[in-house]
Structure 1
Amino acid sequence: MTALLCALSLVVLTQSPVVSVSFDLRALPEQDYRRWDGVELERKVALRLIQEGFAVVSPRGPAQLRLRASRAPDGLLLEAVGPRQRVEQRVRVGRGSIAELHLEVAQKLAEMTRAVQPEPEPEPEPPPPEPVLQPPVEVAAAPVHSGVDLGLGLGTLWGGPGVAPHLLLSARWGLGDVGLDVEAGLGVSREPALNVFEVQGGAFFSYRHAVTERLRLEPAVGAGLVVHAFRLEDAWVSEQRGTQVSPAGWARMKLGWRFTERLAAEVRVALGLLRPVTHVREGETLWSRGGARLETGVQLSWGL
């Protein structure tokens, strides 16, 4: 039975890193070995040590811990020898049954084995993981917003003898915040004796500044031409129609509110400088405009 327990513990030893222990009774005299039933004592000690998690091997083989029992004057001398220390205990015999003696010896040997067993070596720290070199990520530069905005607006011309309606068409080619604008407008002034049509066209350099996510300011300066066409209602006048062309320059400001990514509403104010015009008949001024003209209006802008 003892040999079977030793074989079982050897199987456990080969499967897990446990401490090997041997128990030796060969120092006992033959008479004491039989009187105290040494075979049964070996079996119980081996069983107890296996229960404690040790691997029990033969006393003739190599072992990390060695347990011995020898005769003492008052009983048994128990000895446990480990790699670093050695402990002893004595057990008196003759006070109880053989079973009680075996239980006491097995208990003391288990305690002594735990006392001399080597401390478990700390597990080596795992090597730090090798740094994984990530392939370089090419960060593309944010594309500069560019696009075309088309606008249609209606407003008022100030600077003539009265207030004239003003129709305006515009297109903007933007590259980021800077843009090139083209505008074409038509102003109509109707008087009892004279009708005036002013067609304008100009190119602007503009800068679009975002005040908030939706609100934007857009100052601009531009230059172009204004075609002034008139028609007299008096049938007796030999020259009822005429045309004048004047160079013009503008300083313009737009305040826009963006409803969606494409649709926006804008308020437009522009001050134009151009050649003054006056129409006189028989000393009577029929229509007159100075060299400055104020343009106001609102328009809708649609981005393509």
Structure 2
Amino acid sequence: MLAGGHARRYSRRHRMTALLCALSLVVLTQTPATSVSFDLRSLSEQDYRRWDGVELERKVALRLIQEGFAVVSPQSPAQLRLRVVRTPEGLGLEATGPRQRVEQGVRVGRGSLAELHLEVAQKLTEMTRAVAVPPEPVPAPPVPEAPPVVESAKEPPMEVAVAPPPSTLELGLGMGTLWRGAGSKVAPHLLLSVRRGLGSFGLDAEVGLGVAREAALTAYEVQGGAFLGYRLPVTERLHLEPGVGAGLVLQVFRLEDAWVSDATGTQVSPAGWARMKLRWRFSERFAAEARAGLGLVRPVSHVREGETLGARGRVRVETGAQLSWGP
């Protein structure tokens, strides 16, 4: 026995299939038409409800019938088959005919549900025309004493190019901790990041601010770097993202001793990082990330009359969590 949600979904689909078949019979009685099936069964129950699958099936079927195709149920034999699948970027559209198969992608979350349905119906109609085999022309009866009619060559089927995955821009803001080597204290760390992604790869720009306070020394460290990362899907919403990067660390320090002539100063050092992110996308636009990084930087020591006031080691360990936003 089907569960309540699945039973309602099956009932609505059954009524929709009956309506489409009735409309298609009208088309079939007028002219010979190419049969087309439209399949949404690969979508999960949650995605089917989120994008109103019943209304999407109705709009796609009506559009195909207007174009002269006969729409049948996914279980029935059909000359052309249309299918919608879930992808990390949104929806994937597939059209399969007797000679070729074409695909396109649709990004979700950028407009209203009606705009999404219109875009899917338009693209599926174009793809159906592309994979459909044109019917053979009926030869005209011979006309006496008339020159032979030369038939024009058939136009090749239209090729629908698959659009490359669009690049995305993500913004992130988070807090964490910074450990700067042996003998130093764990300091708070503020991080701002921007990611430009193309598919699974991404180029990040990060800016961080850390503050270390000692008894006789206060040091502010501003770091900036560029990272190359690769996003590995664990589940549909959970991803791992390893990455490597390089940049600079600027340290501005101030000595608390008022008798010192040079109480402030700066140090600039090159740095490199290896990092790992665990990312959970909990909505269409927002995601939470946990971050851990291991960096190498030039060590710095602050000494006064043989006494070490503060030091930064060669190894720095960063941890933190942040919230990111992106389409």
TM-score interval for Structure 1 and Structure 2 normalised by the shorter chain: 0.5 to 0.7
Residue of structure 2 in register with 1:147 after alignment: 168
Q: Name the counterpart of 1:262.
A: 285
Give 1:297's match in structure 2, choosing from 320, 324, 327.
Answer: 320
Matched, 1:193 2:216: yes
Q: What does the per-residue CA deviation read over 1:100-121, in whole Å, with 9 as the maximum and x for residues that have no partner?
A: xxxxxxxxxxxxxxxxxxxxxx
Q: Match of 1:203, as an amino acid?
A: A
The yes-or-no answer on 1:275 pairing with 2:298 is yes
Give the 5 Å matches for 1:129-144: 132=135, 136=157, 138-144=159-165
Distance 1:142 1:218 in 2: 25
Residue 205 of structure 2 aligns to a residue whose secondary structure is strand
Give, in whole Å, the separation in 1 of the partners of 2:235 and 2:269.
Answer: 39
Tell me, yes or no, if structure 1 residue 251 matches structure 2 residue 274: yes
Q: Distance in 1 between matches of 2:283 and 2:159?
A: 32
Match for residue 285 of structure 1? 308
CA deviation after TM superposition for structure 1 residue 142, in Å: 4.9
Q: Which runs of 4+ in 1 moved over 6 A?
A: none
1:97-147 per-position Cα deviation (integer Å, ceiling 9, x unaligned):
xxxxxxxxxxxxxxxxxxxxxxxxxxxxxxxxxx83698364441531421
Alignment identity in percent?
A: 70
Q: Deviations over 1:41-94 (max 9, x none)?
A: xxxxxxxxxxxxxxxxxxxxxxxxxxxxxxxxxxxxxxxxxxxxxxxxxxxxxx
SS in 2 for 1:260: coil
Please report how far the alpha carbon of residue 191 of structure 1 lies from its aligned counterpart in structure 2 after TM superposition: 1.5
Superposition pairs of residues 32-111 of structure 1, within 5 angstroms: none
For 2:167 and 2:231, the matched residues in 1 are separated by 12
* Distance in 2 between residues matched to 1:263 and 1:209, nearest whole Å: 18
Q: SS of the residue aligned with 2:324?
A: strand
Q: Which amino acid aligns with 2:167?
A: S
CA distance in 1, matches of 2:246, 2:206: 10
Q: Which runs of 5+ in 1 are unaligned?
A: 1-130
CA distance in 1, matches of 2:220, 2:295: 16
TM-score (norm 1): 0.55
Q: Give the partner amino acid of 1:259.
A: F
TM-score, normalised by the number of residues in structure 2: 0.51
Which protein is bigger by CA-based radius of gyration?
1
When the two chains are superposed, the root-mean-square deviation of aligned CA atoms in Å is 2.0
2:228 corresponds in structure 1 to 205
Change in CA separation of 1:148 and 1:189 when aligned onto 2, cut-off 3 Å: same
